[in-house]
Amino acid sequence: MMMLDERANLKNYEEALQTMDWQNVERQFTWSKTGNVNIVYEAIDRHVVEGRGDRVALHYTDGSREESYTFTEMMQLSSRFANGLRSLGVQKGDRVFLFMPRSPELYIALIGILRMGAIAGPLFEAFMEEAVKDRLEDSGATVVVTTAALVSRIRSRELPQLQHVILADAVEKNEANQILYRELMTTSDAYTIEWVDREDGMILNYTSGSTGKPKGVLHVHDAMIHQKLAGQWVYDLQEGDIYWCTADPGWITGTSGGVLSPWLNGVTVVVRGGRFDANEWYATLEKYGVTVWFSAPTAFRLLMAKGERQPLQTYNLSKLRHVLSAGEPLNPEVIRWGMETLQVRIHDNWWMTETGSSICANFRCNPLRPGSMGKPLPGITLAIVDDEGNELPPNRLGNLAIKPKWPAMVRAIWNQPQKYEKYFLNGWFVTGDSAYKDADGYFWFEARVDDVINTSGERVGPFEVESKLVEHPAVAEAGVIGVPDPLRGEVIKAFISLRAGYEESDALKEEIKQFVKTRLAAHAAPRLIEVRQTLPKTNSGKIMRRVLKAWELGLPTGDLSTMEE
């Protein structure tokens, strides 16, 4: 049985640079012949039509549930879900959000939403009430799928557009707007699919910048072209692979890299619910015979720190063929650990919510340079540009920039066209990272150029945290930065000044941490709080995070001419 196209894996990088043409990738899709477009057809239904329906699409495990679903079952169940959404009046282009921990229902719902042409909005389960409200409000979501444990964080009354709350796991409902998943799934079992335009909205990912509230990054069905190729060339997916990406679908890695890239290539996906646990993770790799594994530096560092010293003596990981990392800088030390302890090379790859799929990678067929993010995916023009958007020569530090447009590129910032325009400079898409390119064309990450914090691979906007901090009665002003941390990459530190009548104490700091944790999200709460009399501000009253960072790192504060007296 021939599944993947013959030119599936990347064998010669230089040659691919010469011959690469996105139109050749487009020819791999059914729609290039039929004209009928929907990512779900290419990721799920096509495998059934072409005789691969009995293959497992999803192995799910979390310690209490253990289930497997074939491509045929995914097609049937997601059709049911799509029919259910239609019965609620959901239409093409409507936003349907997913706010729940990983479970088979999450993936069935995701595929069901895309199947009927609606736009899916995945939300990380750690978000608390106000963070959930901001995102549902901005997107104008009409339906949210959630669980009995999380539903109390959805303030339906303050969200007039929100019509239905689907409870994925409940057996009874408490409010008039609630619907039980199990009932919805009985609406109709007829096969259904809505054909869309290649440029129609598919997934709306909320992410953080350095200013303002989180922004909705809109991806369209055309992203499938890039996601399929990344599966073949970056993740090196092959016939018969068992693929496990540990990212949560609340983040782009968990949807694009977690299920879309592999399913577009007909590959079986493993999903493990629940929290990180070194032994459980090794057991999962062994149990399913995972061949391709995608995780993140923080997770690898946790395995290094807490895991078995010699996992290969306890677990049989002999099936593991290709290992990937993304989301944060991958230290050479972690690569060395991987070689020694797991006997695998860990391949770093770089991308971001806005890029929709992998952009730069250490490809299997290229020599690996530990510490480098590798080379651009053939078909992508990646460069280092100065602040005017002029390309810089090798070995010069500058802005990492991409030539628009590539298939998985963000198409809009929801409701905020002016924010979208800000990404572009002199014909380049500017990523917000600084990096350089060496003489051999390998890219090396340096830092974020803006104030965005990357903690355990999760992107946190300082503004959202600061806004929450100043809602606490004791906090007068707050400035939030990321400080280097050996395990998590960065941890969040808040500098605050107190209102009159409040005294600094450990108890107060703890209370403030909890305040952010319970109102915003655990991963966005500061681990460190430092109280200062005053905070450095510009004449216009903006907190100067750059100065806070310099204080923290004991570096020179630089130009202070705009600082308030």
Q: Which residues bind ligand WT7 (CB under 6 A)?
A: 207, 251-253, 326-329, 348-353, 373, 431-433, 445, 448, 454, 459
Nearest distance in Å: CB 445, ligand WT7: 4
Parallel, antiparallel, or unpaired: how do β-strands 292-295 and 322-325 relate? parallel
CB of 217 to ligand WT7, least distance (A): 8
In the numeric block, the tokens 């390119």 are attached to 437
C-beta closer to ligand WT7: residue 265 or 349: 349
Residue 154 CB contacts under 8 Å (≥ 6 apart), including other chains:
99, 129, 132, 133, 136, 144, 146, 162, 165
Q: Taking a C-beta distance cutoff of 8 angstroms, is the pair 276, 302 a contact?
A: yes
Residue 359 CB, shortest distance to ligand WT7, in Å, is: 9
* DSSP result, 75-140: HHHHHHHHHHHHHTT--TT-EEEEES-S-HHHHHHHHHHHHTTPEEEEE-TTB-HHHHHHHHHHHT
* CB 247 to ligand WT7: min, Å: 8
If you compute the radius of gyration of the chain from its CA atoms, what whole number of angstroms results?
23
- Minimum distance of ligand WT7 from residue 219's CB (angstroms): 12
Residue 29 or residue 251: which is nearer to ligand WT7 going by CB? 251
* Nearer residue to ligand WT7 within complex by CB, 125 or 433: 433
Secondary element (H or E) of residue 346: strand 346-350
Helix and strand numbers, DSSP H then E, in the chain: 20, 27
Amino acid at 494: A
- Structure tokens that stand for 562 in this block: 């705009």
Q: Which is nearer to ligand WT7, 86 or 215 (CB)?
A: 215
Q: Closest separation between CB of residue 293 and ligand WT7, Å?
A: 15
Helix, strand, or coil here: 277?
coil
How far, in Å, CA of 513 to CA of 516, rounded?
5
Q: Is the CB of 86 or the CB of 459 nearer to ligand WT7? A: 459
CB of 418 to ligand WT7, least distance (A): 20
CA–CA dist 305, 527 (Å, integer)? 20
Least spacing, CB of residue 402 vs ligand WT7, in Å: 11
C-alpha triplet 355, 357, 361: angle, nearest 5°: 105
Q: Which runs of E-coded beta strand occur in 113-258?
A: 119-123, 143-146, 164-167, 178-180, 201-207, 215-220, 242-245
CA torsion, points 180, 182, 184, 187, in degrees to nearest 10? Answer: -150
Q: Which is nearer to ligand WT7, 253 or 268 (CB)?
A: 253
Nearer to ligand WT7, 253 or 261 (CB): 253
Locate 127 and state its tokens.
């978000």
Judged by CB, which is closer to ligand WT7: 88, or 412? 412
Q: And the tokens for 489?
A: 């990459």
* Smallest separation, CB 143 to ligand WT7 (Å): 25
CB of 232 to ligand WT7, least distance (A): 18
Closer to ligand WT7 by Cβ: residue 442 or 445: 445
Q: Is the CB of 103 or the CB of 253 nearer to ligand WT7? A: 253
